[in-house]
Amino acid sequence: DQQVKQNSPSLSVQEGRISILNCDYTNSMFDYFLWYKKYPAEGPTFLISISSIKDKNEDGRFTVFLNKSAKHLSLHIVPSQPGDSAVYFCAASGRGGSNYKLTFGKGTLLTVNP
């Protein structure tokens, strides 16, 4: 039962261009969403998050957009840099009780070519 789906296993972009990573979710109880970045042989590191009361959150080159009606979020990286090459995980959580636990997608491997 995939409650968080990242349908693109991989994405390749040129340095300087925009990278757009997509994520869909099915659980309407989710109200907080996060993106994690993972390099090989390392653990995931937090990148950016968004609460369901917002539709956009920006941090430097990274912007996350949330479309609640479509149960869809996306991560935009502008401009993309070779150092951004990593696996990006989308995660979601609810509220109350143990609903804070994170549910992750399968990840999307981003390759930024020089």
Partner 1 sequence: DTAVSQTPKYLVTQMGNDKSIKCEQNLGHDTMYWYKQDSKKFLKIMFSYNNKELIINETVPNRFSPKSPDKAHLNLHINSLELGDSAVYFCASSPVATNYGYTFGSGTRLTVV
- Interface residue list for partner 1 (CB under 8 A): 2, 32, 34, 41-46, 49, 89, 91, 93, 98, 100-107
Reading the block at residue 106, the tokens are 């399968």
**Closest to partner 1 by CB, 3 or 74:** 3
Q: How far is the CB of 45 from partner 1 (least distance, A)?
A: 7
d(CA 107, CA 97): 26
Q: How far is the CB of 43 from partner 1 (least distance, A)?
A: 3
State whether residue 81 is helix, strand or coil: coil
Q: How far is the CB of 114 from partner 1 (least distance, A)?
A: 26
**Closest to partner 1 by CB, 15 or 106:** 106
**Closest to partner 1 by CB, 46 or 82:** 46
**Closest to partner 1 by CB, 77 or 92:** 92
d(CA 43, CA 108): 15
- Secondary structure (DSSP) of 7-68: --SEEEEETTS-EEEEEEE--TT--EEEEEEE-TTS--EEEEEEETT-SEEEETTEEEEEET
DSSP 8-state secondary structure symbol assigned to residue 98 = G
Q: How far is the CB of 106 from partner 1 (least distance, A)?
A: 4
